[in-house]
Structure formats: structure tokens, C-alpha cells
Amino acid sequence: KGGDLPTIDPLRIVAKEMKFLTGNIRKLLGSGHPSLDRAAKYYTQAEGKHVRPLIVLLMSRATSLCPKAPQRQQATVQASAAIDTSISPLSILSDFNPSAGAETEPVLADADILPSQRRLAEITELIHTASLLHDDVIDHSVARRGAPSANLEFGNKMAVLAGDFLLGRASVALARLRHAEVIELLATVIANLVEGEFMQLKNTARDETNPRWSEDTLTYYLQKTYLKTASLISKSCRAAALLGGADAQTVDAAYSYGRNLGLAFQLVDDMLDYTRSEKELGKPAGADLELGLATAPLLFAWKTMPELGGLVGRKFANDGDVARARDLVMQSDGIQQTRALAEDYAEKAIASLSLFPDSEAKDGLVEMAVKTLQRKK
Ligand code: FPP
Ligand code: MG
Ligand code: MG
């Protein structure tokens, strides 16, 4: 792009909120049990991209300028209540301080991001990180965010339990928002993540005798992709708009943005798995084929290269299968087609924002869609 346009940095628009994100998350994860405390906070040490909280904060700011719903359900603001992480003498349970929920924070007149929306941003990162802890166990992954994975560092049992602990703390923080619809949305996300992972483990819809096998296989893949990645982004965008009291049209637009961005994001992720190295990604590259997974680049390649069918059928398990499948995908236009589909979704995400009044935050959301296509890790 031309150099005369000022570049928009989405991070700068919500820099103040992002600055406290990791610290606040670590406070939510405090446990009086030292090794649980360490395992739970482990993935907060390395700098993640914090894509989901960034989107939630930008969406909160962008929708603050949109029309409000008639009966505005203001979340009672208990989001920043302190937590007690001490160990009681009789048990190693640490808990949120129950009396802390009664505190309310004064709402600043000019604040366009509410404390409840800030807390929502933290909750999305907690749910995402919990899913990564479990994912790395399922995928036998040895690296995450440029460091040894939690399962390698602490073992599978502790990594799984740490993930469960994150979900528990995310649930408490969510309940404290006192907004039933938002609680329902994020609880559904947790179920969707598991459903997406199940769809991935039990790959179906690849029956080549079915005349529609190719379309059905792609539909199955996209549904799985919605559940495993786009559900969290779309429903947390919806929740951000709801917490701000936005009207129904705005809430739907926020959801549509998140859904399309989430799909674009995972398509790019599946493309990078073919095109980037472990060093560039900070996690193993080429992992999908090794795990027996057929993602978009391969599904597109398969249409013109029937040999892939046999390899997919046995999940690339024989010697040389992974290398052969990779060669075939790289010879095909599967990567280009995946990129083209990601571009379609990114465009749809941007189009979803058309009714939002112009603002820096809206520009930031547009830039997030552009950056999603450009990212290299
Ligand atoms: C990363 O995918 C994983 C996910 C997006 C979700 C995984 C979901 C579960 C393990 C279900 C359990 C969920 C919860 C909430 C505990 P990937 O393996 O393609 O990405 P990677 O390359 O970053 O590992
Ligand atoms: Mg994985
Ligand atoms: Mg996985």
C-alpha cells in the first residue's frame, strides 16, 4: 500500500486497556497452591498476540457510538472486584472473595470502554488459553509461544487441570458480570470449542462416492472452524456490544464481524501451517498433516488431485504419506484458494461494520481484518 496513508495501529487505540491485560489476568489466576499457580499462569509469561481481547476492546469502543437498545440492560459493574487467593488452613482451595462482588466502580462519564467490557476481554483470553492448554495435550505439542509447551513443562495431568482451573476462574469472572445473556454466550463458546475439537478428531464427510463429497467436506471443515475458532471471537464481539447496551442491529453486526474475522483467521492459520517454519511460528510447523488433519489447503488440492483421497483416508499414517501429501498440496493451488477464501471472509467482516459511525476504533477493527491476512505467525 502507498506510504502516504497514516498506518493505523489497532493496539494503540486501546493501549491503555491492553497494558493492564496480562496483569489483570494473572490476578484472576492466583492460587494459594504454588504449583497450580505456576502452571495456571505459565502461558501468560510469554507474550501472546492477545488477538481476542484486542478485538473485544476495539468492538466495545466502536459500538459505544452506535444506537442503544430501548431497555438498556446495564451490567452492574463488579468487574474489577478484588480476589482473595489465600489458602485456608484446612484446604488448599483458594477462592474469589465473596464479599468483593458487592463493590461497584464509579462509571466515568467519558469512559467509552466499560469495566465489564474490559473484564470480558480478559475472560476471552482466559478461555482461549484454557483451550490451548488442553489443545497442546491433545496434539502432543512440545512448543507454544516460543517456549516449551505446558504439557512438556508440567506433564499432561497438570496441564489439563490448569486448563480446567482457567475455565473455572473465567466462569466466576463471567458470573460476576451479572448479565445472563452474556454468560450464556460465553458458556456456549466453551461447549463449541469442545464440539469443534471433536469434529476435528472424528473427520467425516469425506465419502468420495457421494457426488457432493467435495462441497460437503468443505462445509464440514468450515463448520468445525466456526466452532473451534470463530465461535469465541464472534460471540465475544456480540457480548461486548450487549454489555454496552447497543441495539439489536449493532449486536448482530458485531457478531457478523467476529464470525467472518474468526473464519479468516483460522484459514490463514491453516495456510501458515504449510508455508512457515517452526522458528517463524513459535510452535511446530506442518503439524496438521502430522496429526492426520486435512485442512483447507489440502481440501482444495484434493479436488484436482484424487491421490490425496487415499492419504486422507489413512490419516497420512504410512511412511512417506506426510511428505507426499505436502508435495501434492504445494503443487496445487490449494494455498492460493485458501488465501482467496480468507480474503472473502475478511471483506465480509469489514462490510459488517458499515453501519458503525466513523471512529478510530472502527478503523482499528478494519485494520485487524487486514492484518489477519498479512500475518506471518
Ligand atoms: C488450537 O488449534 C485449538 C483450539 C482453537 C481449540 C481447542 C479446543 C479444545 C482442546 C477443547 C477444549 C476446550 C476448552 C475450552 C478447555 P490448533 O491445534 O489448530 O492450533 P495450534 O497450532 O495453535 O496448536
Ligand atoms: Mg494444536
Ligand atoms: Mg489442535
Question: Tens of pLDDT along 118-170?
Answer: 999 999 999 999 999 999 999 999 999 889 999 999 999 999 999 999 999 99
**Cα(9) to centroid(ligand 2), Å:** 28
pLDDT given at position 170: 97
pTM above 0.95, yes or no: no
Testing ligand 1's pocket by substitution, the residue of 123, 135, 137, 290 carrying the most ligand atoms inside 8 A of its CB is 135
pLDDT of residue 98: 35
Q: Which of 11-15, 223-227, 363-367 bottoms out in mean pLDDT, i.e. has the lowest?
A: 11-15
139-160 core/surface letters (b: 16 or more CB in 10 A; e: else): bebebbbeeebbbbebeeebbb
According to the model, what pLDDT value does residue 205 have? 56
| CA of 134, closest atom in ligand 1 | 10
The mean per-residue pLDDT over the stretch 313-336 comes to: 94
Helix, strand, coil percentages in the chain from 3-state DSSP, rounded to 5: 65, 0, 35
Label residue 331 exposed, middle or buried (CB < 10 Å: 0-12, 13-18, 19+).
exposed
Bridge partner residues of 143 (DSSP): 148
Q: 341 CA distance to ligand 2 centroid (A)?
A: 22
| CA distance linking residue 231 with residue 258, whole number of Å | 8
Residue 9 to residue 55: CA distance in whole angstroms: 13
Protein residue with its CA nearest to atom 14 in ligand 1: 131
Nearest atom in ligand 1 to the alpha carbon of residue 232 is: 5
What is the distance between the alpha carbons of residues 76 and 278, in angstroms, rounded to a whole number? Answer: 45
Q: What is the pLDDT of residues 74-128, one digit of tens each?
A: 555 455 555 545 444 333 344 444 334 333 444 333 358 999 999 999 999 999 9
Residues with CB under 6 A from ligand 1: 127, 130-131, 134-135, 138-139, 141, 163, 167, 190, 193-194, 197, 228-229, 283, 287
Q: Which three cell numbers stand for residue 11?
A: 493496539
